[in-house]
Structure 1
């Protein structure tokens, strides 16, 4: 390989990362403009995404590409279940369903799990590395804006089994560079990571309607 997989993923997703940051919903979020209904809907969609992704990774953990990147301490499904119970009560499963964009996202994960499991790495990289990085800032913003105590309603961002996030990210990148893949497969993984970014962006765009209704269109336009 001409470049390590970690470098290919990092450089190859820079534009998608920038695009994601410039979506109206995210620009409002980082300014502390967060609506409780909108945020809980955001987390409920992620619950379906992570449930599908983590099921797929578990199913394919013996795959030569996935086995080297099998880190169950990253799993978010159980944390998101706690968040759902916080926002919707013990019968939370009766109150949430995946949005149209979320359905598209989980269908893609299901398809590659069945037909090209190596590409799951693109989704895992995009999601978990983001959670360990900017996600920590978003947690603090949500806690302040929604007046949440401790980790209530933001367990998604709480990695109890990873006390040193920077050290873990370094470990994760090192693990990426031990994966033996040819250049064609590496390029496919990078392309899938970009696809994961844009699938996530479609979920976020759907939430803008809810946020606009909560804030009022004029205020929203001023913020973005």
Structure 2
């Protein structure tokens, strides 16, 4: 398939937004982005079918877990961005170094301060499942930095894809301020066009000088990233069983209740949003009005899953 290849003609970090020069690029099966898409399809489907996700789609959620999801993301991104800084000049990562555009840990810290208050660090800690994820990121960054490509790609491209689908819905359902407090994780002020930036990122990644064996190792590492996400989902599900709190049941139908209409699936929504389907976005907005709470109290962490789905659907 062909896509528009994007390259910058100006510094993307100059604060004025990136300037892109477009030219045709034909993607090949051996391109890293294509290998990642194909190689993670099965594990994505496994993640989609975890009980945590099924319950989420039914709208059966607990509000406190929304904040715990944000905590998990904070520790994950702090580890990832520490290792990116350590390896920013590595020949197999330097082309993907976009700290101003992409880094999330400071935004997540502001979100946690909003939810927990100024002393949020004393009220939060890294969970066991999240620590396993963090440990792997540090191991990769220190022992095999090329594998950071897999972790950075699955996280950041997800943030720019499915995560964006849920941002406004979350803002409405949680009655968060229109000025963005509590949702800064989703806000990429230095990126003018998410679609164009993702194309640039994939193009840079495909141009890395990697042999086939290394590409296969990157696919394996991306699968591990999904597995770590599944572990966090399962952990949140277990924590939810111990929280004595009213369940907010806003009734998002699961696949079997959709009458075969894939357009009603949140994963399809992520795909349509990334392709710029204006009509579908309007439909999504109407659905959000009908089911605002059921879609998003888990949005901070679940948006990452929706985004991970979107990067191979694109």
Q: Give deviations 1:169-223, integer Å, cap 9, x for gaps.
A: 111111111100001111101110110111011111111134444455xx79x97
Contact 1:83 1:152 in 2 (8 A): yes
Report the equivalent of 1:74: 102
Report the equivalent of 1:46: 73
1:152 to partner: Cα distance:
1.9
Aligned-residue CA RMSD (Å): 2.4
1:28 to partner: Cα distance:
4.3
For the pair 1:121 / 2:149, whether they are aligned, the reply is yes
Once the two structures are overlaid, the 10-residue window that deviates more, 71-80 or 21-30, is: 21-30
SS in 1 for 2:93: helix
Report the equivalent of 2:90: 63
Report the equivalent of 1:137: 165
Change (3 A) 1:35 1:147: farther
* Pair member with larger Rg: 2
User: What is the alpha-carbon distance in structure 2 between the residues aligned to residue 141 and residue 28 of structure 1?
Assistant: 18
Name the structure where helix makes up a greater proportion of residues.
1
Report the equivalent of 1:171: 200
For the pair 1:156 / 2:185, whether they are aligned, the reply is yes
Report the equivalent of 1:5: 32
User: What is the alpha-carbon distance in structure 1 between the residues aligned to residue 60 and residue 222 of structure 2?
Assistant: 28
Aligned positions, number: 223
For the pair 1:197 / 2:238, whether they are aligned, the reply is no
Change (3 A) 1:144 1:210: farther
Contact 2:79 2:138 in 1 (8 A): yes
Change (3 A) 1:90 1:67: same
1:16 to partner: Cα distance:
2.1
Once the two structures are overlaid, the 10-residue window that deviates more, 142-151 or 26-35, is: 26-35
- Of 83, 86, 94 in structure 1, the residue corresponding to residue 122 of structure 2 is 94
Change (3 A) 1:128 1:27: farther
Change (3 A) 1:163 1:36: farther
SS in 2 for 1:184: helix
User: What is the alpha-carbon distance in structure 1 between the residues aligned to residue 98 and residue 42 of structure 2?
Assistant: 27
List alignment gaps of at least 5 residues for structure 1. Answer: none
Change (3 A) 1:140 1:35: farther
User: What is the alpha-carbon distance in structure 2 between the residues aligned to residue 188 and residue 207 of structure 1?
Assistant: 29
